[in-house]
Amino acid sequence: MSLPNVFIIGSQKSSSTMIQSALSSHKDCYTEHAENQFFEDQEYDCKRIDMLEQKFSNIDASIRVLKRPTLLTRPSAIDRIKLHVPNAKFIVVLRDPVSRAISAYYHYMRYNLIPHEDIEVGLNNILDNYHEDKSGVASEILEYGLYGRYLNIWLDSFDKEKFLVFRTEEFGKDSEVAFKRLFEFLEIDNVEVPILNDKKKNIGIYNTLPLTMARLASRVKVSVHGEGHYTKRRKSSLVTAPIWYPLERLAFFIESKNQKKECSDFLKRRLADFYLEDQKITNDLFQQTVVHRT
């Protein structure tokens, strides 16, 4: 059965797309271009595993990668992966949870998952209401940064040796050591380090005008699906491309001409306090500093 045997499970907004792109350049790796929500689908049926198998059929590569960063916070997916791929390996890329939450807030605004509201108002409101409403879309912005909470759940079902955890900054300018660890973990040849192309990053938009334009483009371009709020291109997106494509490109151009909008130290301190205990849990799990404030 041809199924993915390596999963990039997190974290959201932590450069997992770049890692996927780098792996796709290795002769022994195959990575599915689109994210696949099979294991977290609300209508999951174990008998439909052949639908996933078809996507990885006729693949000669020994390493078959499925990237889905929201899997980290989807405990329902753990038993499903254990059933179908009991010897799976997992790659986890963790980013400072404070900067990740800020990035996620703008990402959710861009895709119209939350109202277009100044971060000083909107994210402070989410912090204020988190304990009263953990099931809402907005709460995911905070929830996805609770790495220790969810890694603990995964480690109840899979051995720690099955996980390779990185800090996002390890894939910066001096990434050779990180890639060597990655290839050793996957038991494939240590080849020349791929050039990480900025175009493979999910570039953020932070300023008001380009964000407004990107939100309009998203309304035409994508729809949102499932528990993980997976964005998928509408069937009509090719027809409507003359509308959304130039609008999206112009939004990125304007953003590139402006400085990134910064949030207040007060908000950053609130976020740091929110994640403090979970950061300790994460670091203790792997007996090293895998998460720290940048």
Please give the average per-residue pLDDT across 14-24, as a whole number.
84
pLDDT at 275: 96
The pTM score is 0.88
Single-letter amino acid code for the residue at 284: D
User: Which among 229, 221, 209, 200 has a CA at the least distance from the CA of 108?
Assistant: 229
Please give the average per-residue pLDDT across 32-36, as a whole number.
81
Contact partners, residue 287, CB within 8 Å, separation at least 6: none
User: Which among 16, 67, 11 has a CA at the least distance from the CA of 39?
Assistant: 67
Strand 222-225 to 230-233 pairing: antiparallel
For residues 241 and 288, the model is more confident at 241
d(CA 203, CA 107): 9
- Give residue-wise pLDDT tens across range 149-200: 999 999 999 999 999 999 888 887 778 888 899 999 999 998 776 565 554 5
234 has which bridge partners? none
Contact present, 274 and 129 (Cβ < 8 Å):
no
CATH superfamily entry for domain 6-97+146-198: P-loop containing nucleotide triphosphate hydrolases (3.40.50.300)
pLDDT at 266 over 80: yes
Using a CB cutoff of 8 Å and minimum separation of 24, what contacts does 194-200 make? 194/21, 194/22, 194/25, 194/26, 196/18, 196/21, 196/22, 196/171, 197/18, 197/21, 200/17, 200/18, 200/20, 200/21
Domain ranges of the chain: 6-97+146-198, 99-143+200-273
d(CA 251, CA 224): 21
Q: Which structure tokens are listed for 50?
A: 């052949």
User: Which among 223, 240, 241 has a CA at the least distance from the CA of 232?
Assistant: 223
Q: How far is CA 71 from the centre of its chain?
A: 9
Helix (H, G, I), strand (E, B) or coil at 107: helix
For residues 196 and 100, the model is more confident at 100
Among the residue ranges 69-78, 99-108, 171-180, the one predicted with the least confidence is 171-180
d(CA 249, CA 224): 21
- Give residue-wise pLDDT tens across range 201-256: 567 899 999 999 999 999 999 887 655 555 678 888 899 999 999 999 999 999 99
Number of H helices, E strands in the chain: 11, 7
